[in-house]
Structure 1
Amino acid sequence: MTSPQQTRQPHGHSHSHEPAEPVSRHLRKVIAAVLIPFAAAVVVGLAVLWPGGAPSHERSGVGFDRQTQQGRVVQIEQVDCKDVNASQIPASTPPGSAARPTETGDCAKATIEVTTGKEKGRTFIEIVQPDAPRQFHVKQGVMVAYAPDAPHELQYSVTDVNRAFPMALLAGIFALAVVVVGRMRGVMALVALAVSFAVLTLFILPAILQGSNPLVVAVVGASAIMLIALYMCHGLTARTSVAVLGTLISLLLIGLLGSLFIGWASLTGNTDDSTGLIHGLYPGIDMSGLLLAGVIIGSLGVLDDVTVTQTSAVWELHQADPSMGPRALYRAAIRIGRDHIASVVNTLVLAYAGAALPLLLLFSIAQSGVSTVANSELVAEEIVRTLVGSIGLVASVPVTTALAALVVSADRSGPSGSTEPKPAGPATAPSLPGQSARVSGAGGRGRRHKK
């Protein structure tokens, strides 16, 4: 008499919803042999290049390099611009400044109170012309610049609106949405985002300001961000390791292409007021290297998305049909990758175009030809940045897909990690609901069990 336990045979494939992954000791050793030295090199690079903080410098008082405090609008009076005279503004205010308007009409005389710093509670007057793009209202928070070497009545001036609260609120809504939808994965993604921001602000930026090679700093920093973010979000698994390898290869390609074409196109990286100020304060910084570092860091986030998606596609295809070989897996997954390439590249190009939209409008107003626009260094930088990053993205799809297909197909072991073949048992085909399944017994006679 055969018991039900004896007649119940294992299924031909797993119905688990957990991701399948290679578990053989041999594959784990191969992956570890590649990634452990790489991770060790990243740690050594962080230790050697760690800046210990941004270097100090004497403030120039220009642009962002000014002392700033917070302020608040406490009173606004409407006055005739013609009546704004020496009794209402300091006599030393130069003609043409925001505090001494030249237009006629109703001007706003705003009284600003400084709310932070040593002179908290001090007030000063800011005159706003009627056609000024920024208008004030009472209780509005503002950012004020402080110039200690200026005359007393000109030491403070409004530079911008204080946007801390709406920005913080938007960040909170974003974090809530990520956690609600992503749950624990979302929490880990936010932690990884915080770590990435910490690497950027505590290592990459200060190290570049200390005079380290921007390309080397970007490679080490981007590699650290990649390892931390991918393993933190997706777990310490073979699947994640394959995505890391694909991302690393693509980053190397982006670095090589970027270095070649930035030098070939004679792009200096010093094209606007911000980069000019950086070069003036820190003349030792390689601005073209800084441009290449930006290309690498900017491409990393999209690369992570592509490589993880392709690796997951290969794993899921293998789980659905374990009999698929590496070629079949590659052909099936690359079809998914082609759709991903089309959408990601278009997104990347539009993102850069949106960021440069005011510049493109200026060229359109000047009625410049396409060749003239493209030849301008401002636009050429964005073109090189976009094309180099897109080439790396396109290359990451076949590279990561091929790596994942080879790794997942090479693994034939069971959960114990043994690579010995499993003993052949009676074949059992999965049954659909409402059908019967034939299970072979020891004597070769089949039993029919109604499901």
Structure 2
Amino acid sequence: MGADHSRPAPPAPRRVRRILVAAVVPLVLGTLVAALLLWPRDAPTPADVSDPARYHGTVTRVVSEACPALPETPEEAPGARPQRCGTVSVRVEDGPAAGQEVVTPMPDGPGAPVVEAGDEVVLVELTDPADPASVTWNIAEHQRGMPLIWLALVFAAAIVVFGRWRGLAALAGLAASFAILLTFVLPGISAGRPPLLVAVVGAALIMFVVLYLTHGVTAQTSVAVLGTLGSLVLTGVLGVVATAATHLTGFGSEDATTLSMFQADVDLHGLLLAGIIIGSLGVLDDVTVTQAATVTELAHANPGLSRLQLYRAATRVGRAHIASTVNTIVLAYAGASLPLLLLLTADSRPVSQILTSEFLAQEIVRSAVATLGLIAAVPLTTGLAAVVTTAGRGRPAADGGTDTTPDPTANAHPAPATPATRRPAHDRADVLRALGADGSDPTASPAGRRGWPDPDRSTDSAW
């Protein structure tokens, strides 16, 4: 989660660090207290359902047979799969029948697995209640454990090899996110706690753990934390207003309807809001970390930029980031709801009725609210980062530099000044050369030859 910026940010002045600590520590303590109060101590236990026993097995032989003709066969729908008949021999790998070879009917029907010799499958043992000695076996699905393990190993190795220690910290943050979701957010909602409140507290816990673990305890990270938390609260408020205005109930999907049958006390409207909060968090922290790092890098490249110039330059970067992220949000929600969207092609209702129906209006509200919260994160985080980065520099002069006019009220015998820490000359030269303003380009402007291009110029490409 978030962007990686390997160069450490310069330390903020002590006064600024104290202000950030005074702002962040109460938020952390408040989040912990809220989590303790909302902790699901009385979460309902899963119902004891006597599911059929499931065992692992390996297919040894597949025998296909002609299916018996039905007296009246309706016309098959376009794209329907032909009926499959026959038997499959499977060697049982575990359970009381381990080592035995059983014969099962060929899997058939919607979603049935297509098996071949050598496939590893999951078997279901069915016992006839009227005759316990009569046992039949069926193939439920393929075993997916080993492919998922290899995929997880490749995923983790790629992150660690590319990100090194930062990648390892990102994996730890990912594990912490799932731990909070599985131990607090989901059980809390199942226990009847307010879903929106549980989601906000859970998202705050995830944010504190992931951002500080991945990016370190720095002023730059604290700015990203404050920007993310403020944007999350705004997203929640916008979600409440938008769902109330559109009269969404939360029953816009088949999953929600099924959940209401098993847990009638779950607030599906609150669950919809909780999903918006959790779904927005991953994109929000990416934007806030990037904006905080952008301000820091700009100030590091040109210490003469004023607070307003830093804000304007970093906001231009934020606009470009938002322009691409908005499309990411919409496509992410569209991909998750693709089966529902495909129903549009088979629906004979007018487009206006389809767009205002519960299931599609729900996705529109998700995308719009998440995008509005994301847009608000850019000026909020950029402004905080500009204030923190320029704190302790001295009063900016009218030309964007630093006012060094002596104070007439100062002591006549001031203490010896501490030499300012300067950036390495070669580092500044590299930055200026990359900007084409090191004097080697004959077309560079006079402002560029003085060490920095026009700080107020726009980097947006012309249409």
Q: 1:256 aligns with which of 213, 233, 237?
A: 237
Gaps of 5+ in 1: 1-16, 85-102, 414-419, 436-451
Aligned to 1:134: 113
In 2, the alpha carbon distance for the partners of 1:363 and 1:371 equals 12
Q: 1:68 to 1:260 in 2, by over 3 A?
A: farther
Which amino acid counterpart does residue 244 of structure 1 have in structure 2?
V
User: Which residue pairs with 1:88 in the alignment?
Assistant: none
Is the CA contact 1:81–1:104 (under 8 Å) kept in the aligned structure 2? no
Query: Aligned pairs, how many?
Result: 391
Two-structure CA RMSD over aligned residues (Å): 3.4
Deviates more, 1:291-300 or 1:103-112: 103-112
Identity among equivalent positions (%) equals: 41
**In structure 1, distance between residues paired with 2:241 and 2:187:** 26
TM-score normalised by structure 1 residue count: 0.77
SS in 2 for 1:128: coil
Q: Does 1:182 align with 2:163?
A: yes
1:45 pairs with 25, 31, 34, which one?
Answer: 34
Judging changes above 3 Å, is the alpha-carbon distance between structure 1 residues 163 and 426 closer, same or farther for their aligned structure 2 residues? closer
Partner Cα separation in structure 2 for residue 146 and residue 373 of structure 1 = 44
Partner SS state of residue 305, structure 2: coil
Which of the numbers 277, 282, 289 marks the counterpart of 2:258? 277
Q: 1:125: which partner in 2?
A: 104
The within-5 A match list for 1:334-349 is: 334-349=315-330
Gap change, CA 1:375 and 1:184, over 3 Å in 2: same
**CA pair 104-333 structure 1, distance change in 2 beyond 3 A:** closer
Aligned equivalent of 1:441: none
Change (3 A) 1:147 1:255: farther
**1:68 and 1:145 in contact (8 A); partners too:** yes
CA distance 1:183–1:83, change in 2 (3 Å) = same
Task: Give, in whole Å, the separation in 1 of the partners of 2:421 and 2:163.
Answer: 39
With the length of structure 2 as denominator, give the TM-score of the two structures. Answer: 0.75
- Residue identity opposite 1:79 in structure 2: E
Cα deviation, residue 377, structure 1:
1.2
Query: Cα offset for 1:45?
Result: 2.0
In the alignment, which residue of structure 1 is the partner of 2:297?
316
Would you say the 8 A contact 1:108–1:129 is kept in 2? no
Aligned position for 1:372: 353
SS at match of 1:168: helix
Instruction: Choose between structure 1 and 2 for higher RCO, CA contacts under 8 A separated by at least 6 residues.
Output: 1
Are the structure 2 counterparts of residues 124 and 271 from structure 1 closer, same or farther at C-alpha, using a change threshold of 3 Å?
farther
Q: Please name the residue that 1:32 is paired with.
A: 21
Aligned to 1:95: none
The AA in structure 2 aligned to 1:134 is: P
Whether the 8 Å CA contact 2:252–2:362 is kept in 1: the answer is no
Residue identity matched to 1:328: Q
The one-letter code of the counterpart of 2:65 is V
- Per-residue CA deviations over 1:89-118 (Å, capped at 9, x if unaligned) read xxxxxxxxxxxxxx9976232245665567
Counterpart Cα distance in 2 of 1:426 and 1:198: 45
> C-alpha distance in 2, partners of 1:292/1:230?
23
Deviations 1:302-322 (A, max 9, x none): 111100000000000011111
1:165, 1:335 → 2: CA distance?
A: 46
C-alpha contact 2:169 2:213 (8 A) present in aligned 1: yes
1:167 aligns with 2:148: yes
What is the match of residue 353 of structure 1? 334
Aligned position for 1:243: 224
The 3 A distance-change label for structure 1 pair 80 and 387 is: same
1:71 alignment counterpart: 56
Q: Which residue of 1 aligns with 2:46?
A: 57
> What CA distance in whole angstroms lies between the structure 1 residues aligned with 2:199 and 2:98?
40
Cα 1:118–1:105 change in 2 (3 A) is closer
Correspondence 1:423 to 2:417: yes
Matched AA of 1:48: L
* SS of corresponding position for 2:264: coil
Aligned equivalents of 2:82, 2:125: Cα separation in 1: 29
From the superposition, tell whether residues 148 and 263 of structure 1 become closer, same or farther in structure 2 (CA, over 3 Å).
farther
The answer to which of 227-236 and 375-384 deviates more is: 375-384
Check 1:68–1:403 CA distance in 2 against 1; reply closer, same or farther (3 A cut): farther
**1:362 match:** 343
In structure 2, the gaps of 5 or more residues are 1-5, 71-80, 395-413, 431-437, 439-463
Question: Are residues 1:268 and 2:249 paired?
Answer: yes
Q: Is the 8 A contact 2:173 2:214 kept in 1?
A: yes
Aligned-partner Cα distance in 2 for 1:400–1:315: 12
Q: 1:394–1:106: structure 2 CA closer, same or farther, 3 Å change rule?
A: closer
